[in-house]
Amino acid sequence: MTPIPTKIPAAGKSGLHPRNPHRFGYDFKELIKSHAALSAFVFTNKFGIESVDFTKPEAVKELNTALLKHHYGITYWDIPEGYLVPPIPGRADYIHHAADIMASANKGVIPTGHTIRVMDLGVGASCVYAIIGQKEYEWTFTGVDIDSEALRSSQKIIDSNESLQGSVELRLQKNPANLLFGSVEPSDEFDLVICNPPFHNSLDDVKEAATRKWKNLGVKGGEEPVLNFGGQKAELIFPGGEDAFVSRLVSQSVQLPTHCYWYTSLISKESTLKHVLSALKKVQPVALHTVNMSQGQKNSRLVAWTFLSEREQRNWKERHFWNM
Protein backbone atom coordinates (compact mmCIF):
# COMPACT_ATOMS: atom_id res chain seq x y z
CA MET A 1 0.00 0.00 0.00
CA THR A 2 1.32 3.45 -0.93
CA PRO A 3 2.26 5.55 2.13
CA ILE A 4 -0.26 8.32 2.81
CA PRO A 5 0.89 11.94 3.28
CA THR A 6 -0.85 13.80 6.08
CA LYS A 7 -1.56 16.97 4.07
CA ILE A 8 -5.31 16.71 3.73
CA PRO A 9 -8.45 18.83 3.07
CA ALA A 10 -10.32 20.67 5.80
CA ALA A 11 -12.64 18.88 8.21
CA GLY A 12 -16.41 19.01 7.95
CA LYS A 13 -18.61 21.02 10.29
CA SER A 14 -18.89 18.05 12.63
CA GLY A 15 -15.36 18.62 13.90
CA LEU A 16 -14.36 15.12 12.84
CA HIS A 17 -10.98 14.36 11.30
CA PRO A 18 -10.62 15.43 7.64
CA ARG A 19 -10.05 11.84 6.49
CA ASN A 20 -13.09 10.60 8.42
CA PRO A 21 -15.74 9.56 5.86
CA HIS A 22 -18.49 10.40 8.38
CA ARG A 23 -17.53 14.06 8.79
CA PHE A 24 -20.39 15.37 6.64
CA GLY A 25 -23.15 13.38 8.32
CA TYR A 26 -25.15 10.35 7.26
CA ASP A 27 -26.57 9.76 3.78
CA PHE A 28 -29.45 7.54 4.88
CA LYS A 29 -30.62 6.76 1.35
CA GLU A 30 -27.22 5.31 0.48
CA LEU A 31 -26.89 3.58 3.85
CA ILE A 32 -30.29 1.88 3.40
CA LYS A 33 -29.12 0.61 0.00
CA SER A 34 -26.28 -1.13 1.83
CA HIS A 35 -28.41 -2.32 4.77
CA ALA A 36 -32.17 -2.34 4.18
CA ALA A 37 -33.01 -3.11 7.84
CA LEU A 38 -31.94 0.43 8.76
CA SER A 39 -35.01 1.88 7.02
CA ALA A 40 -37.27 0.81 9.91
CA PHE A 41 -35.41 3.18 12.25
CA VAL A 42 -35.07 6.27 10.04
CA PHE A 43 -37.48 9.18 10.46
CA THR A 44 -37.61 12.89 9.65
CA ASN A 45 -37.07 14.99 12.78
CA LYS A 46 -38.62 18.36 13.64
CA PHE A 47 -35.88 20.13 11.69
CA GLY A 48 -36.80 18.25 8.52
CA ILE A 49 -33.62 16.15 8.68
CA GLU A 50 -33.49 12.37 8.41
CA SER A 51 -32.18 10.72 11.57
CA VAL A 52 -32.56 7.72 13.85
CA ASP A 53 -33.61 7.61 17.50
CA PHE A 54 -30.22 7.64 19.23
CA THR A 55 -31.86 6.76 22.56
CA LYS A 56 -32.53 3.26 21.21
CA PRO A 57 -29.59 0.82 21.21
CA GLU A 58 -31.22 -1.21 18.42
CA ALA A 59 -31.36 1.89 16.20
CA VAL A 60 -27.70 2.67 16.85
CA LYS A 61 -26.80 -0.95 16.13
CA GLU A 62 -28.56 -0.97 12.76
CA LEU A 63 -26.94 2.35 11.87
CA ASN A 64 -23.54 0.88 12.74
CA THR A 65 -24.20 -2.16 10.58
CA ALA A 66 -25.09 0.07 7.65
CA LEU A 67 -22.02 2.28 8.13
CA LEU A 68 -19.68 -0.71 8.33
CA LYS A 69 -21.19 -2.27 5.22
CA HIS A 70 -21.27 0.95 3.20
CA HIS A 71 -17.92 2.51 4.11
CA TYR A 72 -15.75 -0.44 5.17
CA GLY A 73 -16.94 -3.33 3.02
CA ILE A 74 -18.07 -5.49 5.94
CA THR A 75 -20.56 -8.16 4.90
CA TYR A 76 -21.39 -9.41 8.41
CA TRP A 77 -21.42 -7.50 11.69
CA ASP A 78 -23.37 -8.25 14.85
CA ILE A 79 -22.82 -8.20 18.61
CA PRO A 80 -24.55 -10.00 21.50
CA GLU A 81 -27.41 -8.19 23.21
CA GLY A 82 -26.28 -5.83 25.95
CA TYR A 83 -22.76 -5.29 24.64
CA LEU A 84 -21.34 -1.88 23.79
CA VAL A 85 -22.52 -0.49 20.45
CA PRO A 86 -19.58 1.76 19.52
CA PRO A 87 -20.19 5.09 17.74
CA ILE A 88 -18.45 4.52 14.40
CA PRO A 89 -17.53 8.16 13.60
CA GLY A 90 -15.72 8.58 16.92
CA ARG A 91 -13.87 5.28 16.54
CA ALA A 92 -12.76 6.29 13.05
CA ASP A 93 -11.49 9.61 14.40
CA TYR A 94 -9.23 7.82 16.89
CA ILE A 95 -7.72 5.70 14.12
CA HIS A 96 -7.06 8.70 11.86
CA HIS A 97 -5.55 10.84 14.61
CA ALA A 98 -3.36 7.93 15.72
CA ALA A 99 -2.20 7.58 12.11
CA ASP A 100 -1.22 11.27 12.13
CA ILE A 101 0.80 10.77 15.32
CA MET A 102 2.71 7.96 13.62
CA ALA A 103 3.25 10.21 10.61
CA SER A 104 4.65 12.94 12.87
CA ALA A 105 7.66 10.68 13.47
CA ASN A 106 7.89 9.58 9.83
CA LYS A 107 8.44 12.79 7.83
CA GLY A 108 4.70 13.41 7.58
CA VAL A 109 3.90 10.08 5.94
CA ILE A 110 1.51 7.58 7.53
CA PRO A 111 3.04 4.07 7.66
CA THR A 112 0.66 1.60 6.07
CA GLY A 113 0.42 -2.07 5.20
CA HIS A 114 0.37 -5.40 6.99
CA THR A 115 3.81 -4.93 8.59
CA ILE A 116 2.29 -2.27 10.86
CA ARG A 117 1.05 -4.03 13.98
CA VAL A 118 -1.57 -2.50 16.26
CA MET A 119 -2.79 -3.76 19.63
CA ASP A 120 -6.40 -2.90 20.50
CA LEU A 121 -6.47 -3.10 24.28
CA GLY A 122 -10.13 -3.91 24.98
CA VAL A 123 -11.30 -5.02 21.54
CA GLY A 124 -14.77 -5.85 22.86
CA ALA A 125 -17.46 -7.68 20.92
CA SER A 126 -17.49 -5.35 17.91
CA CYS A 127 -13.94 -5.48 16.48
CA VAL A 128 -14.58 -1.95 15.16
CA TYR A 129 -11.10 -0.44 15.49
CA ALA A 130 -9.61 -3.34 13.54
CA ILE A 131 -12.28 -3.04 10.85
CA ILE A 132 -11.53 0.65 10.36
CA GLY A 133 -7.74 0.41 10.64
CA GLN A 134 -7.53 -2.51 8.23
CA LYS A 135 -9.73 -0.81 5.63
CA GLU A 136 -8.11 2.63 5.84
CA TYR A 137 -4.44 1.67 6.29
CA GLU A 138 -4.19 -2.14 5.89
CA TRP A 139 -2.76 -2.47 9.40
CA THR A 140 -2.59 -5.81 11.21
CA PHE A 141 -4.39 -5.97 14.58
CA THR A 142 -4.14 -7.93 17.81
CA GLY A 143 -7.29 -7.51 19.89
CA VAL A 144 -7.15 -8.17 23.65
CA ASP A 145 -10.05 -8.52 26.08
CA ILE A 146 -10.91 -10.04 29.46
CA ASP A 147 -14.36 -11.15 28.25
CA SER A 148 -14.36 -14.50 26.42
CA GLU A 149 -17.92 -13.93 25.11
CA ALA A 150 -16.83 -10.62 23.58
CA LEU A 151 -13.88 -12.35 21.94
CA ARG A 152 -16.17 -15.03 20.49
CA SER A 153 -18.29 -12.28 18.96
CA SER A 154 -15.27 -10.53 17.45
CA GLN A 155 -13.92 -13.84 16.17
CA LYS A 156 -17.22 -14.49 14.36
CA ILE A 157 -16.95 -11.07 12.72
CA ILE A 158 -13.38 -11.87 11.63
CA ASP A 159 -14.32 -15.32 10.30
CA SER A 160 -17.27 -13.86 8.38
CA ASN A 161 -15.33 -11.14 6.57
CA GLU A 162 -12.57 -12.07 4.14
CA SER A 163 -10.83 -8.71 4.52
CA LEU A 164 -10.21 -9.38 8.23
CA GLN A 165 -8.98 -12.95 7.90
CA GLY A 166 -5.23 -13.06 8.44
CA SER A 167 -5.29 -9.42 9.54
CA VAL A 168 -6.73 -9.72 13.06
CA GLU A 169 -5.87 -12.08 15.92
CA LEU A 170 -7.47 -12.14 19.36
CA ARG A 171 -6.05 -12.79 22.83
CA LEU A 172 -7.76 -13.40 26.17
CA GLN A 173 -6.37 -11.41 29.10
CA LYS A 174 -6.85 -13.77 32.03
CA ASN A 175 -6.08 -11.25 34.78
CA PRO A 176 -8.50 -8.28 34.84
CA ALA A 177 -6.02 -6.32 36.96
CA ASN A 178 -3.49 -6.42 34.15
CA LEU A 179 -3.54 -4.42 30.94
CA LEU A 180 -0.28 -4.89 29.06
CA PHE A 181 1.16 -7.60 31.31
CA GLY A 182 -0.07 -10.93 30.01
CA SER A 183 -1.30 -9.26 26.80
CA VAL A 184 2.09 -8.44 25.29
CA GLU A 185 4.24 -11.49 24.54
CA PRO A 186 8.05 -11.41 24.89
CA SER A 187 8.61 -11.33 21.13
CA ASP A 188 5.94 -8.70 20.39
CA GLU A 189 6.70 -5.37 18.78
CA PHE A 190 3.64 -3.18 18.21
CA ASP A 191 3.83 0.02 16.21
CA LEU A 192 0.76 1.30 18.01
CA VAL A 193 -1.33 0.44 21.08
CA ILE A 194 -4.84 1.89 21.13
CA CYS A 195 -7.18 1.85 24.11
CA ASN A 196 -10.69 3.10 24.82
CA PRO A 197 -10.78 2.74 28.62
CA PRO A 198 -13.83 2.17 30.81
CA PHE A 199 -15.03 5.63 31.84
CA HIS A 200 -16.94 4.84 35.03
CA ASN A 201 -15.98 3.96 38.59
CA SER A 202 -19.24 2.26 39.60
CA LEU A 203 -22.73 1.26 38.51
CA ASP A 204 -24.07 4.47 40.07
CA ASP A 205 -21.74 6.46 37.79
CA VAL A 206 -23.14 4.57 34.81
CA LYS A 207 -26.71 5.43 35.79
CA GLU A 208 -25.81 9.10 36.28
CA ALA A 209 -24.17 9.18 32.85
CA ALA A 210 -27.25 7.58 31.29
CA THR A 211 -29.50 10.16 32.93
CA ARG A 212 -27.38 13.03 31.61
CA LYS A 213 -27.30 11.53 28.13
CA TRP A 214 -31.06 11.03 28.01
CA LYS A 215 -31.56 14.61 29.16
CA ASN A 216 -29.21 15.88 26.44
CA LEU A 217 -31.15 13.86 23.88
CA GLY A 218 -34.40 15.44 25.07
CA VAL A 219 -35.89 12.26 26.48
CA LYS A 220 -38.47 12.56 29.26
CA GLY A 221 -40.53 10.01 31.12
CA GLY A 222 -40.42 7.49 33.90
CA GLU A 223 -38.31 4.76 32.29
CA GLU A 224 -35.09 3.87 34.05
CA PRO A 225 -32.38 5.40 31.86
CA VAL A 226 -29.95 3.13 30.04
CA LEU A 227 -26.89 4.05 28.03
CA ASN A 228 -28.03 4.26 24.43
CA PHE A 229 -24.83 2.56 23.30
CA GLY A 230 -25.26 -0.27 25.82
CA GLY A 231 -22.27 -1.95 27.40
CA GLN A 232 -21.25 -4.73 29.78
CA LYS A 233 -19.73 -4.05 33.20
CA ALA A 234 -16.17 -4.71 31.97
CA GLU A 235 -16.70 -2.28 29.10
CA LEU A 236 -18.01 0.53 31.30
CA ILE A 237 -16.57 0.15 34.81
CA PHE A 238 -13.05 0.01 36.26
CA PRO A 239 -12.22 0.64 39.94
CA GLY A 240 -11.15 4.26 40.02
CA GLY A 241 -12.61 4.96 36.57
CA GLU A 242 -10.65 5.95 33.48
CA ASP A 243 -8.16 7.90 35.61
CA ALA A 244 -7.02 4.71 37.37
CA PHE A 245 -7.17 2.67 34.15
CA VAL A 246 -4.98 4.99 32.08
CA SER A 247 -2.61 5.58 34.99
CA ARG A 248 -2.12 1.82 35.19
CA LEU A 249 -1.52 1.72 31.44
CA VAL A 250 1.20 4.34 31.87
CA SER A 251 2.85 2.47 34.75
CA GLN A 252 2.88 -0.81 32.80
CA SER A 253 4.04 0.79 29.55
CA VAL A 254 7.21 2.14 31.17
CA GLN A 255 8.08 -1.45 32.10
CA LEU A 256 7.67 -2.49 28.45
CA PRO A 257 9.40 0.45 26.76
CA THR A 258 10.66 -1.36 23.66
CA HIS A 259 7.60 -3.51 22.92
CA CYS A 260 5.65 -0.64 21.37
CA TYR A 261 6.53 2.49 19.41
CA TRP A 262 3.44 4.56 20.32
CA TYR A 263 1.27 3.90 23.36
CA THR A 264 -2.03 5.77 23.11
CA SER A 265 -5.31 6.07 24.96
CA LEU A 266 -8.60 7.84 24.48
CA ILE A 267 -9.55 10.08 27.40
CA SER A 268 -13.12 11.21 28.00
CA LYS A 269 -12.69 13.58 30.93
CA GLU A 270 -10.53 16.69 30.97
CA SER A 271 -9.69 16.05 34.64
CA THR A 272 -8.30 12.63 33.70
CA LEU A 273 -5.98 14.18 31.14
CA LYS A 274 -4.40 16.37 33.82
CA HIS A 275 -3.68 13.34 36.03
CA VAL A 276 -2.38 11.25 33.13
CA LEU A 277 -0.03 13.99 31.96
CA SER A 278 1.28 14.25 35.51
CA ALA A 279 1.87 10.48 35.59
CA LEU A 280 3.64 10.61 32.23
CA LYS A 281 5.86 13.47 33.36
CA LYS A 282 7.15 11.25 36.15
CA VAL A 283 8.16 8.43 33.78
CA GLN A 284 9.68 10.84 31.22
CA PRO A 285 8.73 9.52 27.78
CA VAL A 286 10.93 10.58 24.87
CA ALA A 287 7.93 12.12 23.07
CA LEU A 288 4.39 12.98 24.12
CA HIS A 289 1.38 14.13 22.09
CA THR A 290 -2.13 15.20 23.08
CA VAL A 291 -4.93 15.69 20.55
CA ASN A 292 -8.31 17.29 21.18
CA MET A 293 -11.15 15.55 19.35
CA SER A 294 -14.81 16.48 18.97
CA GLN A 295 -17.94 14.91 17.56
CA GLY A 296 -20.88 17.28 17.74
CA GLN A 297 -21.19 18.27 21.40
CA LYS A 298 -18.94 15.46 22.65
CA ASN A 299 -15.32 16.35 23.35
CA SER A 300 -12.55 13.86 24.08
CA ARG A 301 -8.77 13.68 24.04
CA LEU A 302 -6.14 11.34 22.69
CA VAL A 303 -2.82 11.04 24.51
CA ALA A 304 0.20 9.29 22.96
CA TRP A 305 3.71 8.61 24.23
CA THR A 306 6.86 6.69 23.34
CA PHE A 307 9.94 5.61 25.26
CA LEU A 308 12.06 4.84 22.19
CA SER A 309 15.18 6.94 21.74
CA GLU A 310 15.78 8.63 18.38
CA ARG A 311 18.18 5.85 17.39
CA GLU A 312 15.70 3.17 18.48
CA GLN A 313 12.99 4.93 16.48
CA ARG A 314 15.14 4.93 13.32
CA ASN A 315 15.95 1.24 13.72
CA TRP A 316 12.29 0.44 14.43
CA LYS A 317 11.07 2.16 11.25
CA GLU A 318 13.63 0.30 9.14
CA ARG A 319 12.76 -3.02 10.76
CA HIS A 320 8.99 -2.51 10.35
CA PHE A 321 9.15 -1.04 6.84
CA TRP A 322 7.53 2.28 7.71
CA ASN A 323 8.80 3.82 4.48
CA MET A 324 7.61 1.18 2.02
Interval 145-178: pLDDT, tens = 999 999 999 999 999 999 999 999 999 999 988 9
What pLDDT, on the 0 to 100 scale, is given for residue 212? 46
Domain with 148 in it: what CATH number? 3.40.50.150
Q: What is the dihedral of CA 90, 323, 259, 273, to 10 degrees?
A: -30
On whether residue 154 sits in a domain, the answer given is yes
SS3 5: strand
Cβ–Cβ < 8 Å for 133, 167: no
What pLDDT, on the 0 to 100 scale, is given for residue 114? 96
On whether residue 49 sits in a domain, the answer given is no
Antiparallel, parallel or unpaired: β 168-172 and 109-110: unpaired
On whether residue 60 sits in a domain, the answer given is no
CB-based contacts of 103, cutoff 8 Å, min separation 6: 4, 5, 6, 109, 110, 111
On whether residue 163 sits in a domain, the answer given is yes
Distance CA(36)–CA(42), nearest Å, equals: 11
What pLDDT, on the 0 to 100 scale, is given for residue 213? 47
What pLDDT, on the 0 to 100 scale, is given for residue 55? 83
On whether residue 71 sits in a domain, the answer given is no
Partners of residue 104 on adjacent β-strands: none
CB-based contacts of 174, cutoff 8 Å, min separation 6: 146, 182
CB-based contacts of 301, cutoff 8 Å, min separation 6: 266, 267, 268, 270, 273, 290, 291, 292, 293
Please, how many CA atoms are within 13 Å of residue 18, restricted to the half-sphere of its CB? Answer: 8
On whether residue 55 sits in a domain, the answer given is no
**Nearest Cα residue to 129 out of 83, 100, 88, 171:** 88
On whether residue 73 sits in a domain, the answer given is no
Number of domains in the chain: 1
Partners of residue 40 on adjacent β-strands: none
Partners of residue 299 on adjacent β-strands: 294
Range of the domain at 135: 4-11+81-319
On whether residue 297 sits in a domain, the answer given is yes
Low-confidence ranges of the chain (pLDDT < 70): 1-14, 199-238, 324
278 burial (CB, 10 Å; 0-12 / 13-18 / 19+) is: exposed
